[in-house]
C-alpha cells in the first residue's frame, strides 16, 4: 500500500494550526474517515492528545519533523495513496484530499464514496 503524502501548502498550514492551538497537549493530527456527507463518507481532521488515543499495531503513525499523523487501519485502507493538500484560492479555502480510491465525490469535495 502507498503512504499518505502531504503537499507543502498542507504541511505549512498544519504547522500554523498546531502553533496557534492553545492546548499544547494536542500533539497529533488524526485523519479518519467517518460516515456522512452527500456521498456517504467524509474526511475528518483534528488535533488530538496522543495520550488519549489507543494506537493499535495495525494503525499507521507517520512522523514528520514538526508533527505526527495518526490514521486508524480502517481509514488507512480508504486513504492509501492519498495526497493531502491545502488551498486558499478561488476554489475554496481548506484542506483537500486527492484520493485515488474515491469512485465518486460530491461537488464540494468534502465527501466521497468507494
3-state SS, residue 18: helix
The stretch 57-61 carries a mean pLDDT of 92
Look at residue 109 in the predicted model and tell me its pLDDT: 57
100 against 114, higher pLDDT: 100
- Can you identify the CATH homologous superfamily of domain 5-113? HesB-like domain (2.60.300.12)
Decide which of 101 and 48 is more confident. 48
pLDDT surpassing 70 at residue 111: no
Which is more confidently placed, 29 or 40? Answer: 29
Q: What is the band of 112 on the pLDDT scale with cuts at 50, 70, 90?
A: low
Instruction: Report the DSSP beta bridge partners of residue 92.
Output: 89
Mean of the per-residue pLDDT values of the chain: 85
At residue 108, the pLDDT reads 58
Domain extents for the chain?
Answer: 5-113
* The three three-digit cell numbers of residue 60, written as one number: 499507521
Closest CA to 43 of 54, 52, 53, 34: 34
- Continuous H helices in the chain: 8-20, 73-79
Amino acid at each position: 500500500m502507498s503512504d499518505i503524502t502531504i503537499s507543502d501548502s498542507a504541511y505549512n498550514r498544519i504547522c500554523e494550526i498546531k502553533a496557534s492551538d492553545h492546548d499544547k497537549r494536542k500533539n497529533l493530527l488524526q485523519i479518519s474517515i467517518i460516515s456522512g456527507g452527500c456521498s456517504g463518507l467524509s474526511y475528518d481532521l483534528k488535533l488530538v492528545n496522543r495520550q488519549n488515543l489507543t494506537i493499535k499495531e495495525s494503525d499507521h503513525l507517520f512522523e514528520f519533523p514538526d508533527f505526527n499523523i495518526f490514521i486508524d487501519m480502517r481509514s488507512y485502507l480508504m486513504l492509501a495513496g492519498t495526497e493531502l493538500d491545502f488551498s486558499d484560492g478561488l476554489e475554496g479555502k481548506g484542506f483537500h484530499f486527492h484520493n485515488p480510491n474515491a469512485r465518486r465525490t460530491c461537488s464540494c469535495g468534502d465527501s466521497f464514496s468507494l
